[in-house]
Structure 1
Amino acid sequence: MRALLSESAIVAPGAYDAVSAKIIESLDFPAIYLTGYGASASKLGLPDYGFMTQTEMAAHVSGISKVVNIPLLADADTGYGSIVNIVRTVHEFEDAQASAIHIEDQENKRCGHMQGKQVIERQEFITKISAALKARRDPEFMIFARTDARSVKGLDEAMARGYESLKVGADGLFFDALESAEELERVAKEFTGTCLVANMVEFGRTPLLSVDELHRMGYSLIIYPVTGLFSATHAMTLALQHLKDAGENSSLLSQVTTFEQFAELMGLGDWKNLEAEYQKNKIKN
């Protein structure tokens, strides 16, 4: 991911499971964002409210990284505890083959676009980021400092946290839940030359700007955490409501992926070729 970001801005849609990750890769996006919001929903059936544990998320990252070949930015929430937990989190996500993570400064973990957030003190957050950076073993593994302070203490405090994160070596900054295009632009100007994350959440607190607009401002990594999740939820709800109401699914055929298309997405052809090759060898022997 570090090499990609040195070349151009990256658009990384959010994956919530292996199927959504494979769809993102099949559409030639350069990277995937593994959303904690989507992971909590798909793995646990629970809101993004601090339920997902470190080991559950690391296992989720590992499962997805095994079936795609593009960089994966993973949501590491608050780092899951104290300094020793932060160190373990970095190691677990490195081992799971994430290319990058972000660690945030929330105290009572919840989705950044929900109300009622609280953040830890600035120095405690910077200590966590410093510990994470020192813990990494792979120099190519990127660590982004994410602050939710805008909603709690104001934009000036959020930017102060950004500056101090850069001082200890953070690879990039993620200011979540900015509330206007003017705030997005102000952050981009203040941190010119820094790898900045823009978070485009449908129905969230941040206005939805285009990729071109964000790129012109100076954002390097533009994530869409729930576009796929919300789209899939809506499409499935409509299809199953029709099934319930009409008692048939034949009229849905033009609106769904075919059996063959899904098999191709899952790589069935590669597995069949492998099976056939071994069958040839078996016959020869």
Structure 2
Amino acid sequence: MQWRHRRESLRAILAGSLCVRPASVYDAISARIAEDLGFEMGMFGGSTASLAVLGDPDLVLITLTELAEQVRRMSRAGALPVLVDADHGYGNALNVRRTVQELEAAGAAGLTIEDTLLPQAYGAAGPQLISIEEGIGKMKAALDARCDPGLVIMGRTGTRGGGPAAAALNDAIARAKAYEAAGVDALFFTGLKTRAELQAIASATTLPIALGNTEGELADMDFLASQRVRIAHQGHAPFAAATQAVYDTLKALRDGVAPKDLKGLPSRDLTARLTREDDVNARAAATLGLKT
């Protein structure tokens, strides 16, 4: 398979004994930067996808076609294994099938399919979850849709849904056990805040775990590893930093700063390296007879 190596790399992380922090990536250049810096994997979040493609907040306004095309661009740019936030699969279980097919073909190393009711229901005070039965159907559809058995399918849920914290945690555990029984490769949790919550989930399940929040009590990587957490996400700071840098640069230019006096610009060598300029020039010389 064209994407086999990156999927094998992600599976090796899940099968290992260490917990890694993925790079938050959102386009070809950010994926190349992460790969060059030695990150084991990348994470393409739904929120950054919406920001990078549409400039909109994370309200599930991005389409599957737009998401898949952005994944394809990142896959083409390098060999970094990227775990893609596929949200709710863009609809029901049949839509999940289409989502998996498109993202698999685009080169994703793995996907997360969540059981959040999306888009948010009219009049709802906060995020809601679909029934466990519908969630199981989505997981089964995702597993059945993949052509490459190396593609990682993660069942994603959270301790949301309202009510007492204990009830929410119990619901998350019940969903995780159901998705594990359905055959997913790993479990992704959002909303966990304490060690006790993670320990309860780890005790009730057997699959590798990925976490969307690893602050406070969940910042200790050794502890996370001991609880089978193999992927510990730490937000999308790179996109936020890039936004601030673009804003500052454009403001400086608008205020009359000369381009030569701008601060924080990449060196010529860094730009050449990230754009793979030497490789492009070599191909141009070999196929077009161009001299560099």
Same fold judged by TM-score > 0.5? yes
Partner of 2:194: 180
Task: Report the Cα distance in structure 2 between the residues aligned to 1:73 and 1:105, rounded to whole angstroms.
Answer: 17
Q: Structure 1's 249 and 187: CA in aligned 2 closer, same or farther, altered over 3 A?
A: farther
8 Å Cα contact 1:119/1:152 also seen in 2: no
Look up the equivalent residue of 2:50 and give its one-letter code.
S
Q: Structure 1's 190 and 242: CA in aligned 2 closer, same or farther, altered over 3 A?
A: farther
Equivalent residue in structure 2 for 1:75, among 66, 75, 85 = 85
8 Å Cα contact 1:94/1:141 also seen in 2: yes
Task: Report the Cα distance in structure 2 between the residues aligned to 1:214 and 1:227, rounded to whole angstroms.
Answer: 21
Equivalent residue in structure 2 for 1:42, among 35, 49, 52 = 52
Corresponding residue SS for 2:96 = helix
- What percentage of aligned pairs have identical amino acids? 33
Equivalent residue in structure 1 for 2:151, among 141, 145, 149 = 141
8 Å Cα contact 1:103/1:146 also seen in 2: yes
Partner of 2:210: 197
Whether 1:269 and 2:278 are equivalent positions in the alignment is: yes
8 Å Cα contact 1:198/1:214 also seen in 2: no
Partner of 1:3: 12
Partner of 1:89: 99
Q: Which runs of 5+ in 2 are unaligned?
A: 1-9
8 Å Cα contact 1:150/1:178 also seen in 2: no
Task: Report the Cα distance in structure 2 between the residues aligned to 1:239 and 1:211, rounded to whole angstroms.
Answer: 36
After TM superposition, the score normalised by the length of structure 1 is 0.86
Task: Report the Cα distance in structure 2 between the residues aligned to 1:23 and 1:66, rounded to whole angstroms.
Answer: 14
8 Å Cα contact 1:86/1:132 also seen in 2: yes
Partner of 1:247: 257
Task: Report the Cα distance in structure 1 between the residues aligned to 2:274 and 2:286, rounded to whole angstroms.
Answer: 21
Look up the equivalent residue of 1:264 and give its one-letter code.
R
Corresponding residue SS for 2:77 = coil
8 Å Cα contact 1:151/1:177 also seen in 2: no
Task: Report the Cα distance in structure 2 between the residues aligned to 1:185 and 1:195, rounded to whole angstroms.
Answer: 13
Partner of 1:119: 129
After TM superposition, the score normalised by the length of structure 2 is 0.84
Q: Which runs of 5+ in 1 are unaligned?
A: none
Could you tell me how far 1:67 is from its partner in structure 2?
A: 0.8
Look up the equivalent residue of 1:259 and give its one-letter code.
R
Equivalent residue in structure 1 for 2:34, among 4, 24, 38 = 24
Task: Report the Cα distance in structure 1 between the residues aligned to 2:82 and 2:276, rounded to whole angstroms.
Answer: 20
Residues 101-123 of structure 1: CA deviation (Å, up to 9, x unaligned): 0001111347xxxx710111111
Q: Cα RMSD over matched residues?
A: 2.5
Task: Report the Cα distance in structure 2 between the residues aligned to 1:231 and 1:184, rounded to whole angstroms.
Answer: 30
